[in-house]
Structure 1
Amino acid sequence: MKHARHDHANDDETSNVHTLPVKKAEPAAEKPAEPDLPHKERRKHIWRNAGIGAVIFLAIALIGARIYLPFWVTDYVNKTLNNIPGYTGSISGVGISLYRGAYTIHDLKLLKKDKGIPVPFIDIKKTDLSLQWGALFDGAVVGDVTLYQPTINFATSKSGATTQTGVETDWTDPIKELMPLDINFVEIHGGKVTYKNFNSSPNIDIFISGMEAKVTNLRNAEDKNVALPSNLVVTGKSIGGGNLRIDGNLNILKKIPDMAIKGKLEAVQLPALNDYSQAFLSIDFNKGKFDLYTDINVKNGQVSGFVKPLLREIDLIDWQNLDPNPLNVLWESVVSIVLEIFSNQSKDQVATQIQLEGSLDSPETNFWSTLNGILRNAFVKAYSNTVKEE
């Protein structure tokens, strides 16, 4: 019995022992998977990257074009100038200004293919061609041209067989090709026009320099109801200190342009023209002044107007420096007497007036060539008549 009690006691002790539960190890938590980007977000991301790539590509392309374009344009301009019959041309380089929509041509020269004429027909230090932004507000896409120190040399060769006038071929068309837009505005700074005769004795070199000119609204982008919409203003200084002023209005959109132009050249010191007078009239001026007034009108192909030269305070014979040729002295004496007889004694001046008349409406006739011929003949006749006939 004792033994049994002992066993029961052991059983009670055993039953009073609490066994701690064994905690099972939990598996390591996995990182939540990143949710997939929505379709629109992915597309936006692709387009953003594509846009950045396009900008970079465009920037590289523009830089490359900016570097290469001047060389390409220079080559193109030189080829264009060399396609003018009877002339050869060149430029030294081109500058591109993309933000202005403009480019600049440096040292444009156009030369006659004749070794007897040693000066270029056209020599322009700088030509700036650009988009006329102001005209865009009027709905017109036109261009501006500004010429810096342009020179035009009319000339006669040493042999006398060739002249350089620009009228024997239409050299203006290739020049216009250099401007991709219709030209609406032209401005000139420091221009010069000369006439050189390498055949005469003595050689002749007369000029008008320091020319400032402005021609506006050539393409009639404004004032569309005006008959002569383009305005012209020219000023300059001639050989012998004369003052030049030209004012006019034009309409170059017609097949034969209409125009109304008035010009005056005043206070030219006549001794400065002695090379011309000696070569063509065999006289020298000791002193005197020369004025020239002109009025030119062209309407529907018909030219009208006048050229009026005026000689003042004339003295032909310099008794201190007589010409060794007695015939020249005799001729100058006769001319001096005739001038004295026919001069306006109250004003001490001699004048004549040459009427301008001609037609430009022939389809075979070059407008500028014909007009130039009419004016040249009138000016030479007017100058000669004033000295010899009056």
Structure 2
Amino acid sequence: MTPKKKRNIRIIILVVVVLIVVARVILPYVVLTYLNKTLADMKGYRGHVEDVDIALVRGAYTIDSIYLNKVDTVHNRETPFFAAKAIDLSVEWKALFHGSIVGELIFERPMVRFTKDKVEPKQIRNDSSGFKQLLDDFMPLEVNRVEVNDAQLQYKDEFSKPKVDISLTHAYALAKNLRNSYDSTALLPASLALHADLYEGKLSVNARLNPLADEPTFDVNAELKNTNLVKLNEFFQAYAKIDVNKGRFGLYIEVAAKQGKFTGYVKPLIQDLDVLGKEDRKDNVFQKLWEGVVGTVGTIFKNQSKDQIATKVEFKGNLKNPDTNVWTAIYNVLENAFIQALQPSIDREINIASVDTKKEEKKNFLQKIFGKKDDKDKKEDEKKEKNKKKS
């Protein structure tokens, strides 16, 4: 190789190195400017990113200290909606080894707050869609993996009396294979696991799903154990006008869906419920009367041997027209109150294979009296009516 060629190669290498260094220096500023401009242009929101760090080697960038506030256009008042210590956006290498170029998101200590407004009953849905649009703007790739560390989910109602402020804390969530970049032959290739704290209680959700199916296809188990109802007293006072002096709450859910149909059950459990006590002395006579009614209902529907209130509501139907039978709920409450107490755990009887079962539902006593008649019953009634006219 001639000295001239060697010199040209050195120059090319030097130019490439300089370009990489310049890009590494300038790129964070360019990305930061773009992100803050995107946040400034969001209708109904105002936000800011403190800093951006670029990691070219692993194809990633990290957003440092971001917040997004809702803006009241009438009073120009800002309400916190989302914040995070950091968000890492990168290429998912596991999917890359399977031939898919997709991304992953990692949230560190995020906070999402839903605030109830007087004239915005659909605000939570609107906030969620706005947040999804924001992530789509920030992440150029389709997201296949999401991890959330130490999250907090809040709900606030500034207009209730008393004001309501409840939170789901220390949440960890991991969603994998959302774009089916591997395990493509599986019926439910994606997974979601979530764990969180709710006022001394523990929430856990485990799900298998197919986000790319034409119709919702999933198998979900969820349970909430041992939540202290006393710590939710602001919520009960605002919306139910009662004081809870003692009680623990649990909730167990299994649901599966495919081909437009779903089946499952929900099983709430309340233990050691007490809505009357010495703490109620300052309540007026109407407040005491309402709490007395609630306390009496709790006593009637309570399994005396285990001091718990529980029921199990089974449901199934079409996702376009879900039909949860209220009479089944009432019957199960009465049955559990006087016959048996439900075990505080998931029954593990619902899965993706359960959705296609076509067993004829047996009607309980209340359903026979008050429930709506199905097509078979209507035909039998019409047949009887015709026979009466003939006779």
- The TM-score range, normalised by the shorter chain, is 0.7 to 0.9
Residues 1:275 and 2:211 aligned together: no
How big is the shift at 1:51? Answer: 1.3
State the Cα distance separating 1:353 from its structure 2 match. Answer: 4.2
Matches within 5 A, 1:1-390: 41=1, 44-114=2-72, 119-157=79-117, 160-162=118-120, 164-167=123-126, 170-171=129-130, 172-238=132-198, 240-354=199-313
C-alpha deviations, 1:29-71, integer Å up to 9, x for none? xxxxxxxxxxxx5xx3222111111121122211111111111
Q: Which moved more, 1:330-339 or 1:349-358?
A: 349-358
Taking the aligned partners of 1:298 and 1:81, their CA distance within structure 2 comes to 37
The AA in structure 2 aligned to 1:107 is: S
Say which SS state the counterpart of residue 162 (structure 1) adopts: coil
Contact 2:245 2:279 in 1 (8 A): no
AA aligned to 2:220 is: I
Distance between the aligned counterparts of 1:90 and 1:296, measured in 2? Answer: 39
CA contact (8 A) 1:323 1:329 kept: no
- CA spacing shift, 1:58–1:308, aligned 2, 3 Å: same
Give, in whole Å, the separation in 2 of the partners of 1:255 and 1:128.
Answer: 30
In structure 2, relative to structure 1, the CA distance for the partners of 1:166 and 1:86 (3 Å cut) is: farther
Per-residue CA shift, 1:72-106, capped at 9, x if unaligned? 10111223334444333332221101112110012
CA contact (8 A) 1:343 1:349 kept: yes
Gap runs ≥5 in structure 1: 1-40, 363-373
After TM superposition, the structure 1 stretch with the greater mean CA deviation from structure 2, 108-117 or 174-183, is: 108-117
Question: Is the deviation greater in 131-140 or in 243-252?
Answer: 131-140
- For structure 2, the 5+ residue unaligned runs are 338-391
In our comparison, the structure showing a higher alpha carbon Rg is 1
Is contact 2:217–2:258 with CA below 8 Å preserved after alignment? yes
2:227, 2:249 within 8 Å by CA — same for their partners in 1? yes
The SS at the match of 1:68 is: helix
Superposition deviation, residue 165 in structure 1 = 1.0
By how many angstroms is 1:351 displaced? Answer: 2.1
For residues 116 and 313 of structure 1, the distance between their equivalents in structure 2, rounded to whole angstroms, comes to 46
Q: TM-score, normalised by structure 1?
A: 0.76
Alpha-carbon contact 2:255-2:265 (below 8 Å) kept: yes
Contact 1:235 1:245 in 2 (8 A): yes
1:225-261 Cα distance to aligned partner (Å, 9 max, x none)? 11110111100101x2110110001111235442221
Partner Cα separation in structure 2 for residue 102 and residue 196 of structure 1: 35
Partner deviation per Cα, 1:209-240 (whole Å, 9 max, x = no partner): 001111111111211111110111100101x2
Tell me the distance in 2 between the aligned counterparts of 1:135 and 1:184. 8
In structure 1, C-alpha distance between the alignment counterparts of 2:307 and 2:76, rounded to whole Å: 42
**Contact 1:196 1:204 survives alignment (8 Å):** yes
When structure 1 is superposed on structure 2, of 283-292 and 335-344 the one drifting more is: 335-344
C-alpha separation between the residues in 1 aligned to 2:34 and 2:315?
42
TM-score normalized by structure 2?
0.76
Superposed CA RMSD = 2.7
SS at 1:346 equivalent = coil
**Does structure 2 retain, via aligned residues, the 8 Å contact 1:85–1:169?**
no
- Aligned counterpart, 1:28: none
Residue 384 (structure 2) aligns with: none
Name the CA distance, whole Å, in 1 between partners of 2:205 and 2:77: 29
Q: Residue 21 of structure 1 aligns with which residue?
A: none
Structure 2 vs 1, CA of residues 73 and 360 (structure 1 numbering), >3 Å: closer, same or farther? farther
Q: Which runs of 4+ in 1 moved over 6 A?
A: none
Query: 1:113 and 1:296, CA in 2 relative to 1: closer, same or farther beyond 3 A?
Result: farther
